[in-house]
Amino acid sequence: MSIADPKLDLREGYTEKYGFHDSDQFVFKSRRGLDREIVAQISDMKGEPAWMRDYRLKALEIFEKKPMPTWGPDLSTIDFQNIYYYVKPTSEEAKSWEDVPADMKRTFDKLGIPEAEQKFLSGVGAQYDSEVVYHKIKEHLEKQGVIFLSCDHALKEHEELFKQYFGTIIPSTDNKFAALNSAVWSGGSFIYVPKGVKVDVPLQAYFRINTKDMGQFERTLIIVDEGAFVHYVEGCTAPTYSSDSLHSAVVEIIVKPGARCRYTTIQNWSNNVYNLVTKRAVAYRDATMEWVDGNLGSKITQKYPSVYMMEPGAHGEILSIAFAGKGQHQDAGGKVIHCAPNTTSKIISKSISKDGGRAGYRGLVKVQKGAVDSRSTVNCDALILDEKSRSDTYPYMEIEEDRVSIGHEATVSKIGDEQLFYLQSRGINKEEAAAMIVSGFIEPIVKELPMEYAVEMNRLIQLQMEGSVG
Amino acid sequence: MTTATATAALDLGAWIADAHARAGRRDEPSWALDQRTAAAGIARTLGFPTRDLELWRRIDFRTLEQAFPSLDPFRKSPATRNLDDLPAALLERLGGESGRIGLVIQRNTEVVLEQTAPELAKQGVIVCSLERALAQHGEHLRERLGALIEPDYDGYSAVGAALRSGGAFVYVPDGVEAAVPIRLFHWLDGVGALAAPRTVIVLGKNARATIVEEQLSDSAEGIALHLGGTEVFLGDDAKLVYGTLQEWGRHVYHYSNQRARIGRGAEVQWIQTILGGRMVKTNSYFDLNGPGAQAFVHGFMFGDGRQQFHLHTLQRHLADHCTSDLLIKGCLKDRARSIYQGLIQVAEGAQRTDAYQANRNLLLSDTARADSIPGLEILANDVRCTHGATIGSVDPEQLYYLMARGLPRTEAQRLIVEGFFAPVIDRIPLEGIRDHLRQVIQRKLG
């Protein structure tokens, strides 16, 4: 069977649906490039305490010193001096959609955010370029002490709590892009869920890049206190520009004993965005951390969400799905670090490459000394839909204990002729059959998504598979 | 990084210039001497590998690098008139087979004994030292020696090419099935020797052969270094069974590159065992070069004490309809450490590839450490590529089962470990070697 000669772009419809852009919207835009002056300027404009300003400047030095990664996708085309590091869209963060400037509100309307907020979310944050322009949480949660703010507001309103955790999970020395984020971070979400509080419906943040040559560096910090639960969902899109944008976020999560946190990402950046993100969670006794990571968009994505299991009984789970179409390189994956006895983890990765795209899994399972009776399983499956495309799997396993059970399995294949034949012989045309098989392939992960996202994901795949079977 | 350079007091550049000046005086064809000179230049440029190279991040050769000035790349062998002059351990392994097989024995930096059984000579099979082959069969070597192991692969590869010493040459003509097995031995005396043998194996179209290469030495206090290289060329429809048994003493550092280029419809059965040495690094590459080529690779490593093994394999599918099947088993006790780094690459257009890669690790102590890094890079779509890796300890249920039947714990564990290795040992072509390996496992288990 040949699935060559695809007539449709992998992400057909993106330009119309998400690729539009508003005329430039900002009350302040830093000049291009990055230096001490720009970093100081960002801090001053935000009216930050001195320690944060110092932290940023220190991080800038680290960023300048650290070399670019020598492995992974080619990042040599990023021109750090051609980027706007800070674009402030409005002067104030709105508490109601009415207060959001009309153009921006129209953007978020088109993306369906206000509607989603009413229907099935506990709270919404919407970030436009560098700043969060809208933030709202349901009253009953606020009363229970749940904090859901932009990171900037959290620093102002809960400085002590913020300072206690900020940068403790991902220090600015962690990697070059974490250092960059630490220097110029702006926006992102801050969540604190008090002991025993279960946030029954998801909190969501939506990230939008509008300005050309813009860098978005949001920072997210989530603290789930003992026995609490939260599900946080983030989505991202950007206009389709001919020049490249940079998105480099840092996400730190602390899951305290007995708590559970799920973090779902649907990354749908336009094909001109470099998406270089550091995400890490620590899980304490009997806590559970789950990353559900969907990567559909961007030019290059490098993202390996990780879970450090610090105390006995902690559990980490990473479900990763990656689509790479024309001109895309998805270097996705995940890391689980077993630091204590009786910890368990599971990674499931599904990747699909098509139209010359390159999708991959890069992951690490590490069992530290003393983490006896740890168990980990990793399953990576890849589908390659045509002969121009590429799939990579690079799993790392570092095991320093003997009483453990670690397993890894990976398969790369095409759509099975027999499966196709079976469906066709039952009167389903080849295109539909292929789409069904692909849907089945990613089903184990899609079923973990909130309903509306699952529907959207399946719709996207239908769209992508149309006309692709020759 | 900076500390690494600071403690590695040796200037490899000056050292290699000096050593190469002596190596370059050998009586060899000019193209072979030119190869040495080029490699020495590369070694000077590259220096020792730094820890930022992906293949050198997990193993540390710095102790060896500091000891380089004490190593002698020209260590002669004691005079050998006949088999009786060989070390007893080597003779024991040869087990009285000497008259009936093809045989090349290298001691330190030179081949001391070479013999082609009469049956082989009649068939036109060549089994000799590389030195003799350079003098007498240059036409077979000129396009092959160094063709698969790039001298700029890393610093050690370059040093090995510049200071090449010894090695064997095996040539099986088209359509010939070598009548008897061919065995190649490497022996190192005491400490201080640096041997850099290069072996070239050529099987013509539809030729067949079984070759076993064994590396052994006594144990000593100090350091010795083996910088090996093997290049295998399989013509269309040829079939080779190739086994390597590495059983150095605990003072030997081992670095080797093995490459096989497998032609259309040809097949290699490759068995690799890593048991000895202090620090061992081996890179084994299999190029499936013509449609329908097949590689079946089985390896086992068993480390104890403070041994460190690093095995890197590459299954490179360069043509369509090829099959590769790889299974590496590792068992570690005490403070031993193993790193398995494997990759399957499927080139564009290599459709209908069937590639498999498995790495199974058994840890017998809580101070042992195993890293497993299997990888896939797939650039074709009509393929089936799978890999799996597991790391675990002896299954307590299996242990319980055996102990419930009256076996002492150590005996039960021995049985389980033997069973773990059995699928690999069973593939080794010579019965004597299979028995020997079972004994080594017993000894290692203690």
pLDDT 10s digits, B343-358: 999 999 999 999 999 9
Residue identified by tokens 């892009």 is: A177
Q: What is the DSSP string of A76-141?
A: TT--GGGSB--EE--SS-BSSGGGS-HHHHHHHHHTTHHHHHHHH-SEEEEEETTEEEEEEE-HHH
Is B323's pLDDT higher than 90? Answer: yes
3-state helix, strand, coil in chain B (%, to 5): 30, 40, 35
> In whole angstroms, how far apart are CA A250 and each of A135, A322, B158?
19, 20, 43
Give the pairing of strands A147-150 and A189-193.
antiparallel
Contacts of B387 in chain A (CB under 8 A): 393, 408-410
The whole-number pLDDT of residue B363 equals 93
What does the pLDDT look like over A158-208, one tens digit per residue?
999 999 999 999 999 999 999 999 999 999 999 999 999 999 888 988 888
Alpha-carbon distance A230 to A190, whole Å?
Answer: 12
Q: Which of A120-134, A347-361, B336-350, B365-379 has the lowest mean pLDDT?
A: A120-134
Work out the minimum CA distance from B251 to partner chain A, whole angstroms: 25
The whole-number pLDDT of residue B52 equals 83
A164 touches chain B (CB under 8 A): no
The radius of gyration of chain A's CA atoms, rounded to the nearest angstrom, is 22
Of residues A97 and B274, which shows the higher confidence score? B274
Alpha-carbon distance A51 to A164, whole Å?
Answer: 12
The whole-number pLDDT of residue B351 equals 93
* Residue (of A293, A256, A301, A296) closest to A274 by Cα position: A301
A395 touches chain B (CB under 8 A): yes
Q: Which of A211-215, A329-333, B392-396 has the lowest mean pLDDT?
A: A211-215
The whole-number pLDDT of residue B332 equals 95
Work out the minimum CA distance from A396 to partner chain B, whole angstroms: 5
Contacts of B377 in chain A (CB under 8 A): 390-392
A217 touches A245 (CB < 8 A):
no
Q: What is the DSSP string of A393-449?
A: EEEEEEE--SS-EEEEEEEEE---HHHHHHHHTTT--HHHHHHHHHHHHHHHHHTTS
Residue identified by tokens 């069992």 is: A367
The whole-number pLDDT of residue B181 equals 94
Is B27's pLDDT higher than 90? Answer: no
Q: What's the average model confidence in pLDDT over B152-158? A: 94
The whole-number pLDDT of residue A10 equals 47
The whole-number pLDDT of residue B14 equals 83
Q: Mean pLDDT, chain A, as a whole number?
A: 87
Work out the minimum CA distance from B254 to partner chain A, whole angstroms: 23
Contacts of A351 in chain B (CB under 8 A): none
pLDDT > 90: percent of chain B: 75
* Residue (of B23, B34, B5, B46) closest to B158 by Cα position: B46
Contact B386 A410 (CB under 8 A): yes
The whole-number pLDDT of residue B8 equals 44
| Opening angle at CA A30, ends A26 and A32, nearest 5 | 120
Q: How many helices (H) and strands (E) does chain A have?
A: 12, 24
- Please state whether the predicted TM-score (pTM) of the whole model is above 0.80: yes
Q: What's the average model confidence in pLDDT over B105-130? A: 94
| Among the partner residues A386, A394, A407, nearest to B390 by beta-carbon distance | A407
Q: What's the average model confidence in pLDDT over A259-288? A: 93
Q: What is the DSSP string of B102-143?
A: EEEEEETTEEEEEE--HHHHHHT-EEEEHHHHHHH-HHHHTT
A468 touches chain B (CB under 8 A): no
* Residue (of B283, B225, B229) closest to B251 by Cα position: B225
The whole-number pLDDT of residue A183 equals 96
Chain B CA closest to residue A3:
B381
Chain A CA closest to residue B385:
A412
pLDDT > 70: percent of chain A: 94
User: What ipTM was reported for this prediction?
Assistant: 0.78
| Among the partner residues A369, A395, A412, nearest to B374 by beta-carbon distance | A395
Name A220's Cβ contacts closer than 8 Å, sequence gap at least 6.
Answer: A151, A188, A189, A190, A191, A205, A234, A249, A250, A251, A252
Segment 66-95 of chain A within 8 Å of chain B by CB: 70-71
Chain B CA closest to residue A355:
B381
Q: Which amino acid is at A184?
A: V
Name A214's Cβ contacts closer than 8 Å, sequence gap at least 6.
Answer: A83, A84, A87, A129, A130, A245, A246
Alpha-carbon distance B285 to B258, whole Å?
Answer: 6
Biggest CA–CA distance in chain A, Å, is 70
Work out the minimum CA distance from B258 to partner chain A, whole angstroms: 23
Work out the minimum CA distance from A103 to partner chain B, whole angstroms: 44
The whole-number pLDDT of residue B82 equals 83
What does the block give as tokens for B357? 């890669």
Alpha-carbon distance B171 to B204, whole Å?
Answer: 8
Contact B393 A404 (CB under 8 A): yes
Q: Band the pLDDT of B10: cuts 50, 70, 90.
A: low
Q: Band the pLDDT of A4: cuts 50, 70, 90.
A: very low
Q: What's the average model confidence in pLDDT over A438-445? A: 84
Is B2's pLDDT higher than 80? Answer: no
Q: Mean pLDDT, chain B, as a whole number?
A: 92
Contacts of A369 in chain B (CB under 8 A): 366
Of residues B95 and A289, which shows the higher confidence score? A289
